[in-house]
Copies of this chain bind each other. A is one copy, B any other.
Amino acid sequence: MVDKNQELRDKGLRLTPQRQLVLQAVRELGHATPEEVAEKVRSTHPGINLSTVYRNLETLENVGLVQHTHLGHGGATYHAAEELTHLHLVCGKCGSVGDAPIETAASFVNTLIDEYGFKTDVTHFAIYGTCESCTAKS
């Protein structure tokens, strides 16, 4: 447990229960909106304020422990930095978020660099479309 403490301390952050809970929630949830993170945290610690969740997500992002993306509509979704090993396949119908390995996009990403000088940020890579089950339904 000293490890996990150090992880935050090393970044110059204080170790508050709220902070730890937010980070833990993001890690457990995989993908989550601030609202979902708050809900998760509250399932064990009801008193935690929403703005504390927002502030911690921002702080944790600043030190590189989590990141956010804009998948589909309005809300940002957060994930732990370690989790950024896949692409997000966002379904516009049902809102689900599927995963695919980053390598799937490797040659595409290379083409963009070579031909357009554009360096794709794979950690922000969100692909919009329709998932398999929604396609089947229609």
Number of copies: 2
- Which of A22-30, A46-54, A115-123 lies on the face that meets chain B? A115-123
Q: Which residues of B lie under 8 Å from residue A125 when comparing CB positions?
A: 127-128
Task: Tell me whether A118 and B131 are in contact (CB under 8 A).
Answer: yes
Q: Is A80 an interface residue (CB 8 A)?
A: no
**What is A's interface to B at a CB cutoff of 8 Å?**
69-70, 72-74, 89, 91-92, 98, 100, 104-105, 107-108, 111-112, 115-121, 124-132, 135
A108: which of B108, B117, B132 is its contact (CB, 8 Å)? Answer: B108
Task: Tell me whether A107 and B108 are in contact (CB under 8 A).
Answer: yes
Is the contact region of chain A dominated by helix, strand, or loop, or is it mixed? mixed
How long is the Cα–Cα vector from A130 to B119 in the complex, in angstroms?
A: 5
Query: Which A-B residue pairs are the 7 nearest by beta carbons?
Result: A117-B132, A108-B108, A124-B128, A120-B129, A121-B129, A119-B130, A89-B118
Task: Tell me whether A116 and B135 are in contact (CB under 8 A).
Answer: no
CB distance from A90 to the nearest CB of B (A): 9
